[in-house]
Amino acid sequence: MKDLAGKVAVITGGAGGIGRCIVAELAEAGARCVVSDMDDEWGQLVVAEIERGGGEAFYVSTDITDSCEVSSLFAETVRKFGSVDIVVNVPDIQVLGPLHELKEDHWDKKVDVALHGAFLVCTEAARIMLSQGRGGRIICISSTGGFLARPGHGPHSASKAALNAMVRAMALELGEHGITVNAVAPGGTDVVGPSRKGGFKPGQTDKILEVMPVKELVHPEAHAHAVAYLASERASFVTGQVLVVDGGFIAGKLTVGGEIEDTVPAGLDSMRGTDGGDV
Amino acid sequence: MVHEFQDTSVLVVGASGLMGGEIAAAFARAGARVMLSDIDGSGAEGRVEELRGEGCDVAFHRADVTDAADVHDLLRHTLEALGGIDVVVNAADVRVFGPAVDVREERWKAKIEVAFKPFFLLFGGVARHWIEEGRTGRMISISSTESTIPYPGSVAESAAKAGVDILTRVMACELGPSGITVNAIAPGMTRKRQEDPGFSAEYIESYMHHIPLGRAGEEREIVDAVFFLASSAGSYVNGQTLVVDGGYSAGIPALQVSGEPPTQWLGFDRDREGV
């Protein structure tokens, strides 16, 4: 199933927990991958892994908050692989804290990476795809935080809600050129970053599972599957969407309501036909 | 005459702008003590003169809402001048429209800064003050319909206002336990915006096409929504963006299905309808 054969994919944040799963999946589908990150050691390891599997990839160290570095990432991609067909923007940093107690430089850093960086990567990608004139796929990794407000998640929610809106607006602008713009919104995912930081602390996992309809943390591979779908021909009519992959985390409030009792209109038997004792 | 906001102190940032100015003036005329603030005094200062002439209790203090020191000064000055703050309205904004591939990085960043920073600089500062003093109050931001309904060229506006909506909800979660409500208003087309030469006739006309009520809103109708959220009637509304747009965001009225309905309408056999 090499449905991305001949395609060139650029994955920013490709060395991180979710990023490297995306690189692996796109490479498996036949795409030549450009891995971009700021963690050179892990970036090289991800490339080496792809090459061991017979795929083609190279690494570019990029600070996506710097427009010059973003331009040279794409220039190098075109120079080595000839085109840019798929761009996946993953980078993020964790900044948590109540808004009225937050330090301004922490806020700035978060918005810079999660939102401004995405803007620079996606718009540069769009300009290149427009000049190539044969469409393309732009995919951002967002978060359920863009939909769900939680105390302490202000910087994260603001960045991701804005990112989702950017994705939708860009989809409107680029649709006629055959460029689709979508996002994947992970939630409840246990990922360990390249520096082996991140991931849930003991105790946190139990709390998350309590509110997750699917009683299991989401594997980072699940997001890679979603990205691969959006990058493929099968998704050519999907644009401006945020595909939530969260085990049902934001579908509603699971812990509200208590025990559910069957409520049946008078004169009718129990709803649970075969389970009712007198059947 | 009933003064709805007698003994209420209101701080309005972005008061030189269209919406901010209208809101500040309306609060002042409804009996509130109002501090108008803006990065640019040109609009607000004239309004202060006009309102003082009417006997309103108003003042102006210049501040850049994206600058921590400025906001600190503004709050200190406002507390001195008004004796407290009960309602804070964030109407600061910069106009950035254009397709994503053409929007300059600095403009994009300026838009996002003005939209996001008031939440932790201004609202954060006011919240800390309220919590320390054991007071409560209302925080209201101006969002826009672009936060949920983008169009080509709205990329910066949509991203910024989507952030405003979710920050409103996050802060409502964080400050609710302290008795503080945080809400937003999303105005659609208003009469003065319709007449604003900054918007092309083509833009205005196409926008008008999508309003079920078929007319632009009056500024007063936006102000009334702000008043609702600031008044006792709005005391249990928290974390919401109240859309006041004549139905613009409800759907696409321009896409009418016309003509005779087909006989097999959604699987319903018309011939049997009369039986």
pLDDT at A135 over 90: yes
Q: Do B155 and A173 touch (CB under 8 A)?
A: yes
Q: What is the pLDDT of residues A165-182, one digit of tens each?
A: 999 999 999 999 999 999
Q: Do A161 and B154 touch (CB under 8 A)?
A: no
pLDDT at B272 over 70: no
- Interface check for A172 against chain B (CB to CB < 8 A): the answer is yes
pLDDT at B251: 80
- Interface check for B154 against chain A (CB to CB < 8 A): the answer is yes
Q: Nearest C-alpha of chain B: how many angstroms from A128?
A: 10
Give the start-to-end residue ranges of the domains of chain B: 9-272
Q: How large a percentage of chain A has pLDDT more than 90? A: 76
Q: Do B150 and A168 touch (CB under 8 A)?
A: yes
Report yes or no on A1 lying in a domain.
no
pLDDT at A146 over 70: yes
Q: Nearest C-alpha of chain A: how many angstroms from B271?
A: 33
Q: Nearest C-alpha of chain A: how many angstroms from B158?
A: 6
pLDDT at B39 over 80: yes
pLDDT at B184 over 60: yes
Band of residue A229 on the pLDDT scale cut at 50, 70, 90:
very high
> What CATH code would you report for B9-272?
3.40.50.720
As a whole number, mean pLDDT of residues B94-122 equals 95
Distances (CA, A) of A16 to A20, A51, A195, A228, B68: 6, 18, 9, 17, 34
pLDDT at A41 over 60: yes
Question: Quick count: other Cβ atoms within 10 Å of Cβ B177?
Answer: 9
Q: Do B163 and A162 touch (CB under 8 A)?
A: yes
Beta bridge partners of B185: B142, B242
Q: Do B151 and A172 touch (CB under 8 A)?
A: yes
As a whole number, mean pLDDT of residues A140-158 equals 95
As a whole number, mean pLDDT of residues B38-52 equals 94
pLDDT at A33 over 60: yes
Report yes or no on A2 lying in a domain.
no
Interface test with B, best of A111, A131, A173, A177 (most B CBs within 10 A): A173
Q: Are B210 and B151 in contact (CB under 8 A)?
A: no
As a whole number, mean pLDDT of residues B97-120 equals 95
Beta bridge partners of B58: B34
pLDDT at A267 over 90: no
The domain spanning residue A17 has which CATH number? 3.40.50.720
As a whole number, mean pLDDT of residues B220-243 equals 95
pLDDT at B72: 97
| Domain enclosing residue A14, as ranges | 8-275
pLDDT at A154 over 80: yes
Report yes or no on A3 lying in a domain.
no
Q: How is A19-77 classified by DSSP, letter by letter?
A: HHHHHHHHHHTT-EEEEEES-HHHHHHHHHHHHHTT--EEEEE--TTSHHHHHHHHHHH
Q: Enumerate the residues of chain B whose CB falls inside 8 A of the CB of residue A159.
A: 163
What does the alpha-carbon distance between residue A163 and residue B160 come to, in Å, rounded to a whole number?
A: 9
Mean pLDDT of chain A: 91
Could you say which of A111, A119, A153 has the minimum Cβ distance to residue B116? A111
Q: What is the pLDDT of residues A57-96, one digit of tens each?
A: 999 999 999 999 999 999 999 999 999 999 999 999 999 9
As a whole number, mean pLDDT of residues B143-169 equals 96
Q: How large a percentage of chain B has pLDDT more than 70? A: 91
Interface of B with A in 55-84 (CB under 8 A): 68
- Here the ipTM equals 0.82
Higher-confidence position of A109 and B271: A109
Band of residue A279 on the pLDDT scale cut at 50, 70, 90:
very low
Band of residue A278 on the pLDDT scale cut at 50, 70, 90:
low
What does the alpha-carbon distance between residue B23 and residue B35 come to, in Å, rounded to a whole number?
A: 11
Interface of B with A in 174-193 (CB under 8 A): 174-175
What does the alpha-carbon distance between residue B26 and residue A121 come to, in Å, rounded to a whole number?
A: 44
- Interface check for B195 against chain A (CB to CB < 8 A): the answer is no
Q: Do A161 and B166 touch (CB under 8 A)?
A: yes
Q: What is the pLDDT of residues B191-201, one digit of tens each?
A: 998 998 888 89
Q: How is A101-136 classified by DSSP, letter by letter?
A: G--HHHHHHHHIIIIIHHHHHHHHHHHHHHHHTS-E
Number of structural domains, chain A?
1
Distances (CA, A) of B77 to B21, B31, B153, B227: 19, 20, 39, 24
Q: How large a percentage of chain A has pLDDT more than 70? A: 92
pLDDT at B226 over 90: yes
Contacts for A51-55 with beta carbons within 8 Å, 24 or more apart? Answer: A53/A24, A53/A27, A53/A28, A55/A27, A55/A28
Backbone φ and ψ for A93, nearest 5 degrees, come out as: -135, 155
Higher-confidence position of A255 and A103: A103
What does the alpha-carbon distance between residue B273 and residue B266 come to, in Å, rounded to a whole number?
A: 13
Q: Are B181 and B172 in contact (CB under 8 A)?
A: yes
Q: Nearest C-alpha of chain B: how many angstroms from A76?
A: 20
Residue ranges of alpha helices (H) inside A142-246 are: 154-174, 204-211, 220-231
